Each structure stands twice: as structure tokens, then as C-alpha cells.
Amino acid sequence: MQSLTENILRQAAEGDIAAFEAIYRACSGFVFNVACRVVNSRDDADEVTQEVFLTMHRQLKNFRFQSAFKTWTYRITINTAINYAKKKSKEQNRTVEYMDNNEYQNTIQENDASDKDVVTTLLAMLTPDQRACLVLRSIEGLSYQEIAEALDININTVRSRIKRAREALMVYRKKVVAHEL
């Protein structure tokens, strides 16, 4: 994420749309990529990205410049994405209850067949919380401390989520390899 001057942030907070566009240009890459990976769908990522920037625009007036703008952006992005992913996952669980089991299996197979991105398939095996930690660390390169601050959790919780996520992925890969053989 590119750095921004305090002047641009103040202008955007006062309602200057050009200054806010500069913020968008600097952060949109990070926001969209994280959204895409955490919600694991491009269409949903569109919605999350829009929501993140609308929240930033609304909350920028309350930004006190005491914490880093980067951390603030990480926090809004990851919380919006996790909440969206959890909501979506609940909706899907409810749909599965109403769908016939065979019908659901067919849907999964169709999705798997159409999805050629390994990363998307791997991330789909994880919970939104695990996904968030792994995406921030492995894809965005944030340190454990930065992830802990963004998610407002203990650094050891970050460690444990990353460990469980990678263990789950290793088990999944083992199953895939065994199935292929």
C-alpha cells in the first residue's frame, strides 16, 4: 500500500473528493485483493471493496492521526471482509439445509471444476478468521504484530490461527494427492 501525506488525509476528511480519490488509488489494490481472498469471490469482493471505501469516507472525519493510516485501513478492510464472509457462510449453511444432499454435492463439484485457481480452492477450506490471518501474512506480507493490531487480537491467537489453517490445508492436500493416486 502506497503512503499518503497527512495533508491529503485532512483534505479528504473535509470532503475533498479528489483527495479521497488519491486515497482510493493508494489503497484499492490492497483492499480489493484482501476482499477477494477473504470472501473468495470476485463479485462479493466488489461489494466489500465498495463498503470499505464508503466506511472510510464516513469515518475519515473521526480519524485522529494517532494511529497509522495503514493500520486503520487494514482494520476496516479485514473486519468488513470477515463479517461479509461469515454472513455469506451462514446464508449458505441455511441454503444447504433446504437443498437435497445430492443436489448440493453436484453444486460443489461444479464449483470445483470451474475453479482453476489453486489459491481459491485452498482458501475455501478455511474459516473466515483463519483465511484472514493467512491472507494478511502470506499474500499481503504483514507481520504477526500488524495482523494482531488489525484484528485487535493477541499475537499468539494470530500464530494459532495460522498454524491451524496450514494444518488444515496440509490435510486437504494429502487427501487430494491420495484421491489422485
| Contact status: 175 vs other proteins (CB under 8 A) | no
Q: Is 14 near other proteins (CB under 8 A)?
A: yes
Q: Point out which span in 1-9, 79-87, 108-116, 131-139 binds other proteins (CB under 8 A).
A: 131-139
Between CA 108 and CA 116 the distance in angstroms is 14
Q: Considering only residues 61, 87, 94, 175, which one is a binding residue for other proteins as defined by CB under 8 A?
A: 61
CB of 138 within 8 A of CB of 119? no
Give the three cell numbers for residue 49.
471493496
Q: Output the DSSP codes for 107-143.
A: HHHHHHHH---HHHHHHTTS-HHHHHHHIIIIIT---
Chosen residue from 10, 24, 83, 104 binding other proteins by CB under 8 A: 24
Binding flag, residue 11, other proteins (CB under 8 A): no
Cβ 72 vs Cβ 58: under 8 Å: no
Shortest separation between residue 122's beta carbon and other proteins, angstroms: 6
> Cβ closer to other proteins: 58 or 100?
58
CA dist 61 → 9, 65, 173 (Å): 9, 11, 47
21 binds other proteins (CB under 8 A): yes
CA-CA-CA-CA torsion sign (172, 87, 47, 32):
negative
Q: Which stretch binds other proteins (CB under 8 A): 65-73, 82-90, 92-100, 156-164?
A: 156-164
Q: Is 115 a binder of other proteins (CB under 8 A)?
A: no
Using the Cα atoms of residue 30, residue 31, residue 37 and residue 41 in order, give the sign of their dihedral.
Answer: negative
Distance CA 85, CA 174 (A): 26
137 binds other proteins (CB under 8 A): yes
Per CB under 8 A, residues contacting other proteins are: 14-15, 17, 20-21, 24, 28-29, 31-33, 36-37, 42, 45-46, 49-50, 53-54, 57, 61-62, 118-119, 122, 134-135, 137-139, 143-144, 159, 162-163, 166-167, 169-170, 173
